[in-house]
Amino acid sequence: MAGIARAAAETYARFDIPSIPLGRNKKPSIGDFKVAELSVQQSMAWFRQRPNADALGVPDGRLSGIVRLDIDEHGEQVERAVIDRAGDTPFKARTASGKLHLLYRYNSERRLTGKPGTANARPWSDIKVDLCGGGGYSISPPSQCGGGEYRFLDDVNLEQLLENRERLPTSASKSRHTRGKSSGCRHRGLRACRNSSTDEDGALAGFRSFAFPAFRTPTAAKRQRR
C-alpha cells in the first residue's frame, strides 16, 4: 500500500509544485539537493522510488507561492498573540507536536529563523516564531512523522489551499526584505535575510489586516476552467 505522502506529492505536482520525501524522523530520505533547483519531475521520481513515504516537505516561497509562520510554542494565548501581530489567515495547520503553522501567500519574504542578534533573527524576540520564507522547505499536511500527524484546521484541505494560494493575505511591502546569507529552519543551499530595521514588527507589517475572500472549491474551479 502506497504511503500517504505520495498522493499528496501528486496533488502538489498538479499545481506545478515540487516536494521532498521525508522519513518519520522528519529528515529527507534522499541525498543532497538544493531547494532552489527542485523540480516536479525530480520530485515524482523520488516518490516513485519511495512509494511508502508517509511525510513530505514542500518548498516555501517562490516554488510553492506560500510562506508560513511556524509558532514554536504551545498555547492558545501565544497563537492569538501571533495572529494579532501578523494578521489572520484562513489556512492553518496543526503540527505533529501540536504546534501551529499559519499559511500566507509568498511576497518575496526571506527566512527569519535565527537567534536574536543574528542577521536572520526571528521576527519577534519575545515569541518563538519562525518566518519560513523563500529558500527552505516545511513539513506539510498530511505528513505523519515525529510521532504525530500534520493536518489542516477548520475543514479546509490541501487542494483548496493550492487552488486559492494566490488569494491568500500577503505582506504589503516587498521593500522591507533585503538579501543576505543565512541558515534557517530546514533548508538546503538557501539565501535569506533580515529586515535592516531594528523594528521587530517591520518584516511582517504587511500581514496585519485583510478581508477573507470567498475561496473557490476544487469543483467550482474545475468548472471555471472548462
Please tell me the distance from the alpha carbon of residue 177 to that of residue 204, in angstroms, as a whole number. 10
Is 173 inside any structural domain?
A: yes
- Write out pLDDT tens, residues 31-69: 889 999 999 999 999 999 999 999 999 999 999 999 999
57 burial (CB, 10 Å; 0-12 / 13-18 / 19+) is buried
Q: How would residue 193 be classed by pLDDT, with cut points 50, 70 and 90? A: very low
Indicate the residue type of 153.
L
On the question of pLDDT at 127 being above 70, the answer is yes
**DSSP string for 34-95:** -GGG--HHHHHHHHHH-TT--EEEEE-BTTTTEEEEEE-S--HHHHHHHHHHH---S-EEE-
Flag whether pLDDT at 28 surpasses 80: yes
Q: Which of 75-84, 169-178, 191-200, 213-222 has the highest mean pLDDT?
A: 75-84
The pLDDT assigned to 202 comes to 43
Q: How many Å apart are CA 60 and CA 131, to the nearest integer?
A: 10
Question: Does residue 217 form part of some domain?
Answer: no
Answer yes or no: is 11 within a domain. Answer: no
Q: Does residue 129 lie within any of the structural domains?
A: yes
Number of Cβ within 10 Å of residue 33's Cβ equals 17
User: For all residues of the chain together, what is the average pLDDT?
Assistant: 80
Contact present, 214 and 167 (Cβ < 8 Å): no
> Is it the case that residue 195 has pLDDT exceeding 70?
no
Q: How far apart are CA 53 and CA 64, in angstroms?
A: 20
Is residue 140 a part of any domain in this protein?
yes
State the cell numbers at 77. 494565548
Geometric angle at alpha carbon 133, from 129 and 135, rounded to 5°: 130
Residue 70 pairs in a beta bridge with 101, 130
Distances (CA, A) of 7 to 4, 10, 48, 155, 217: 6, 5, 11, 19, 19
Cα separation, 162 vs 66, whole angstroms: 9
pLDDT > 60? residue 196: no
Is 152 within a domain?
Answer: yes
- Arithmetic mean of pLDDT, 212-225: 50
Span 66-93, average pLDDT: 94
For residue 41, tell me if it sits in a domain.
Answer: no
* pLDDT bracket for residue 205 (50, 70, 90): very low
pLDDT band of residue 191 (cuts 50, 70, 90) is: very low
Confidence of residue 3 (pLDDT cuts 50, 70, 90): confident
- Please name every residue paired with 110 in a beta bridge, in sequence order, or none if there are none: 134
Strand-pair partners of 102: 69, 92
Q: What is the pLDDT of residue 29?
A: 94
**Grid coordinates standing for 97?**
507536536
End-to-end CA distance of the chain: 34
Determine, yes or no, domain membership for 179.
yes
Q: Which structural domain, as residue segments, surrounds residue 152?
A: 54-201
Question: Per the structure, how many domains does the chain have?
Answer: 1
> For the whole model, what pTM was predicted?
0.77
pLDDT over threshold 90, residue 223: no
